[in-house]
Amino acid sequence: MNESLHIPAHIAIIMDGNGRWAMRRSRPRTMGHQAGLKALRTIVEHCGQIGVSELTVFAFSSENWSRPEREVSRLMELFMRALDKEARELHENGVRIRFIGDTGAFSPGLQEKITRATSQTTGNTRMTLNVAVNYGGRWDIVHAARKLAGAAVQGLIKPEDINEKLMTEQICLGTSSDPDLFIRTGGEMRISNFLLWQSAYTEFYFSSVLWPDFSPDELDKAVAVYQSRERRFGLTGEQIGERTA
């Protein structure tokens, strides 16, 4: 990573590989999630240090409900504990926490902690951590479309007013810049229904490292690869050259 080059302002991460990390140590999968939380703590801190202003992580997908009941309930317990301890520490470090996804499906206790962590940290400006829980990119798009359709039915907008800007305003993270860099750990090379709308021009980086082992050095490697890419946003390389000249 070259600190004098552009540092991605917004990084999105699919933190994959917790289960395999634990299984390789003959430990229950939940241990992998605990180790994953520790890795997340280190990565948030490192992002703050190198000047990343926003980090969005996939903590629980809409599809994760189908995992064994025991794993789901252990994950919920982990979230509950994390929302007490980690939220306090993140707040002390000036990090704003936001949650994206259909949080209404969680227990009232967890929903209350989510609301509290969000409101407690809302004024923090050093960095933003977006945690995607019960989130799916298609759900996000459908949800936004439904809101716009509702507004059209009420006569607040006309169907022909619907454009990318209006959709973006309704979509999760609509007030943020799109992720510059999307990292997936754990060796799989797919997007798994994460930030479908928001990643239209995002650079992808796939790492075979399992999430609990994803260290600051690994993040720096991802940033270095990002820095070596030319982002064209549909333009030609020559046009980009003229713009930056």
| Residues of this chain that bind ligand FPP (CB under 6 A) | 15-20, 33, 36-37, 40, 59, 64, 79, 82, 131, 186
Query: Which CB, 118 or 168, lies closer to ligand FPP?
Result: 118
Tokens standing for 75? 């994950």
Torsion angle in degrees (nearest 10) through CA of 87, 174, 72, 23: -80
> Whose CB is nearest to ligand FPP?
19
Closest CB 131 distance from ligand FPP, rounded Å:
5
Phi, psi at 215, each rounded to 5° = -95, 170
The span from the CA of 27 to the CA of 33, in Å, is 11
Q: How far is the CB of 133 from ligand FPP (least distance, A)?
A: 8
Sheet holding 203-206, edge to edge: 95-100, 127-135, 54-61, 10-14, 181-184, 203-206
Provide the minimum distance between the beta carbon of 210 and ligand FPP in the complex, in angstroms, as a whole number: 7
Question: Given the complex with ligand FPP, which of 98 and 144 has the nearer CB atom?
Answer: 98
Active-site residue, 178 included = no
Q: Which one, 37 or 127, has the nearer CB to ligand FPP?
A: 37
Rounded-to-5 percentages of helix, strand, coil across the chain? 50, 15, 35
Q: Which lies closer to ligand FPP via its Cβ, residue 46 or residue 147?
A: 46
CA 158 to chain centre: 32
CB of 40 to ligand FPP, least distance (A): 5
Report how far apart, in Å, the C-alpha atoms of 13 and of each of 128, 161, 163 are: 14, 33, 28
Q: Is 220 marked active-site?
A: no
* Catalytically annotated residue among 64, 93, 124, 193: 64
Catalytic residues: 16, 64
